[in-house]
A and B are shown apart, each in its own frame.
Chain A
Amino acid sequence: GAVVSQHPSWVICKSGTSVKIECRSLDFQATTMFWYRQFPKQSLMLMATSNEGSKATYEQGVEKDKFLINHASLTLSTLTVTSAHPEDSSFYICSARGERNRYNSPLHFGNGTRLTVT
């Protein structure tokens, strides 16, 4: 089955530093990847849609300058949390569409990255 690898699985950083999270589709090509944020015991909140070779589409209320998304290849999207602050601490999850060019194909999720900003 389709596998999505997310790295790192957890990271602790100091306030003011930047953190990069990688999301890779290991055995399929993903033209579209999605980045979600999840607070403890809550559901997933869509942050942005990442399209290979073009700019990401951010959801309302998500700061594009703070959460930089790059989707440079069909198998890799990155999320960089810039100048992280304690309120950015959260569980970040990426997902990729299972089949290229099928908008209704299921999502395959990475295992998430727990970010803690001290």
Chain B
Amino acid sequence: TQLLEQSPQFLSIQEGENLTVYCNSSSVFSSLQWYRQEPGEGPVLLVTVVTGGEVKKLKRLTFQFGDARKDSSLHITAAQPGDTGLYLCAGLTTSGTYKYIFGTGTRLKVLA
């Protein structure tokens, strides 16, 4: 069974601080996605990384895919209250039905 462990599980920070969320696995993934989910809603895609070592930036968010395609990180600069939510990484399996396995999740709260 392929597992994706996220750390930290919970994070409460002040507005303006920086933070990094990690997504780790012992398995290799074809690609990896990051989502953010608000309570009572479905997850919304933030980014897809495909190539080992790839770095993508989305405004204040920086995403990196590990060289071996087993891990990823999400860095938020100058966090804002609007960044509050559940952040989920999801890895696309490399064979079989090509399904997405979701990480354990990181719940972020940014205080004003």
Task: Report if B30 contacts A (CB, 8 A).
Answer: yes
Shortest CB-to-CB span from B88 to chain A, Å, is 6
Picked from A36, A43, A111, A114, the residue with its CB within 8 Å of the CB of B105 is A43
Closest B residue to A91 by CB, please name it.
B40
Closest A residue to B99 by CB, please name it.
A49
Number of A-B contacts (CB under 8 A): 61
Tally chain A residues at the interface, Cβ within 8 Å.
27
Contact residues on B (Cβ < 8 Å of other chain), bracket: 20 to 34
Question: Secondary structure of the A side of the interface?
Answer: strand
Contacts of A109 in B (CB 8 A): 35, 42-44
Q: Determine if B41 and A43 form an interchain contact, defined as CB atoms under 8 angstroms apart.
A: no
Q: Determine if A107 and B100 form an interchain contact, defined as CB atoms under 8 angstroms apart.
A: yes
Knowing A34-B99, A104-B98, say if A44 contacts B88 (CB, 8 Å).
Answer: yes
**A–B complex contacts, Cβ < 8 Å, 14 sampled:** A6-B42, A32-B97, A42-B105, A43-B88, A43-B105, A44-B102, A91-B40, A93-B43, A95-B42, A103-B98, A104-B30, A104-B50, A106-B48, A112-B42
Apart from A42-B105, A43-B104, A45-B102: 16 A-B pairs, beta carbons within 8 A: A6-B42, A34-B99, A43-B88, A43-B102, A43-B103, A43-B105, A49-B97, A103-B92, A104-B31, A104-B48, A104-B98, A107-B90, A107-B100, A109-B43, A111-B42, A112-B42
